[in-house]
Amino acid sequence: MRIKKQFFSILLVLCMFIIALPENTFAKSIKLENTVSTSGKGNAIKVKSISYELDKNGNPELEVDFISHVTWKKTAHISSITDNKGASYDGYFTDMDSDDCEICIPNLKEGRTYKIVINGIKKLGTESYRNLTLKVKVPSINSTSDKVKVKKVSVDMDNDDYDKYMTEIDIEFASKVNWKKSAKVTSVVDDKGKSYKGYLTEKDSDDCEVYIKNIKYGKIYTIKISGIKTRKASSYETITVKVTVPKQTHNLQVKQVEYDEDFDYGTPEYEVSFEFNKNVIHKNNSYIIIKDSNGKKYSSKNSYVEWDEDECEVILSHKLNVGKTYTYEIVNVKAYGEKTFSTLKGSFIAK
């Protein structure tokens, strides 16, 4: 019985360990087409297979398995890495053993063929160290379904958070995503070809927000964001998003007016609340005047007004007659972001 309990305890710990492993531990590993050559004559180093995957940090890595055992020189290193387009890359060993080695190439691009030259290796039991040249073809692992898809792009011009970013681009993704620590907006270009600086102000698992410095309204922007991938994908990508930023309008309007009768510690209180279409800014001397059709005032410059983000309430001096029409003037107000204050005028039916 004790042996069974110990077995299940070990099994439970093992399951918890597997669950806790980082996502890239289970990244796809595929065998690569390859050719191998050894410098000099005789004593060729033979390779059993070369596979490609991402390490735990998301970096591209090649694992080279040798058929026969090898010996490494103390100064063994990767002398060069080039691809079929002529680009050069830096690479380094993450592991060197008698029957295999692991090579990390941080900036490797999928869909290319690579020539990798290793200096300071020899077949076990032979005299001189050689250069080993590997030619490998790395396919594009990500399928179309692994690519990041944008579900919705919208422009937030109301700035509900009252932060320093007046207008932000909200990008919503079709599936959950992961972000690289170095993720950023790599470029922003408008429809006239002018470039702007862009910043990721927020990154989440299903959306992000982009701020464009010195944004111009009424233009179309193309935004490129690097360091993002779907949770199924094995490598990060750069996505392109297009967005039309409408012309800026800040016309403040009253959406709804409500009249309410309340009792404050047994004393009747009458108030009218105004809901606006945008966040409202008021001055210290802003006020609301409400009149009936005969010109009688129910609120004045001295009436108490409580202001909120997109609404306000004014306390009346007298009760309104339900069903009757009243006029209002809301003095010295403007929408958030608008330049000048103005007076809103209108009418409502008390109900």
Q: Are residues 238 and 266 in the same domain?
A: no
Burial of 268 (0-12, 13-18, 19+ CB in 10 A): exposed
Least confident of 67-76, 225-234, 248-257, 283-292: 248-257
> Are 55 and 133 part of one and the same domain?
yes
Percentage of the chain with pLDDT > 90? 70
Report for 19-23, 74-78, 267-271: range of highest mean pLDDT: 74-78
Residues 232 and 170 in one domain: yes
> Quick one: 32 and 108 in the same domain?
yes
Domain end (from 138, 163, 196) = 138
Looking at the fold, whether 73 and 105 belong to one and the same domain comes out as: yes
Same-domain status, 115 and 33: yes
Q: Are residues 132 and 197 in the same domain?
A: no
DSSP 7: H
Q: What is the mean pLDDT of the chain?
A: 87
Rounded CA gap, 79 and 62, in Å? 16
User: Same domain for 122 and 157?
Assistant: no
Asked if the structure places residue 3 within a domain, the reply is: no
Closest CA to 122 of 75, 74, 71: 71
Q: How many DSSP H helices and E strands does the chain contain?
A: 1, 25
Give yes or no: residues 104 and 202 share one domain. Answer: no
Residue 286 included in any domain: yes
Residue 16 above 80 pLDDT? no
Domain containing 341 equals 254-349
Residue ending a domain, choose from 193, 228, 245: 245
Q: Is 145 helix (H, G, I), strand (E, B) or coil?
A: helix
Picking from 138, 157, 172, the residue at the C-terminal end of a domain is 138
Q: What is the CATH number of the domain that holds 126?
A: 2.60.40.1220
pLDDT over threshold 80, residue 19: no
The predicted pLDDT at position 32 comes to: 94
Q: What is the pLDDT at residue 70?
A: 97
What Å distances lie between residue 310 and 113, 157, 160, 250, 288, CA to CA? Answer: 59, 14, 9, 13, 15
Which tens digits make up the pLDDT trace of 260-304?
A: 998 777 788 999 999 999 899 999 999 999 999 999 999 999 999
How many distinct structural domains can be found in the chain?
A: 3
DSSP readout, 17-51? HHHHS-GGGG---EE-EEEEEESSSS-PPPEEEEE
The pTM assigned to this predicted structure is 0.43
Beta bridge partners of 229: 178
In a domain, 4, yes or no: no
User: Does the residue 283 lie in any domain?
Assistant: yes
Q: Tell me whether residue 18 is in a domain.
A: no
Is pLDDT above 90 for 15?
no
Q: Is residue 12 part of a domain?
A: no
Model pLDDT for residues 82-121, shown as the tens digit of each residue: 999 999 999 999 999 999 999 999 999 988 999 999 999 9
pLDDT value of residue 158? 58
Per-residue pLDDT for 192 more than 70? Answer: yes
| CA 27 to each of CA 32, 89, 142: distance values in angstroms, whole numbers, following the listed order | 15, 22, 11
Q: In this structure, are 344 and 262 located in the same domain?
A: yes
pLDDT at residue 234, as a whole number: 76
140 vs 298: CA distance, rounded Å = 73
Query: Are 150 and 238 in the same domain?
Result: yes
Residue 154 inside a domain? The answer is: yes
Whether residue 113 is found in the same domain as residue 36: yes
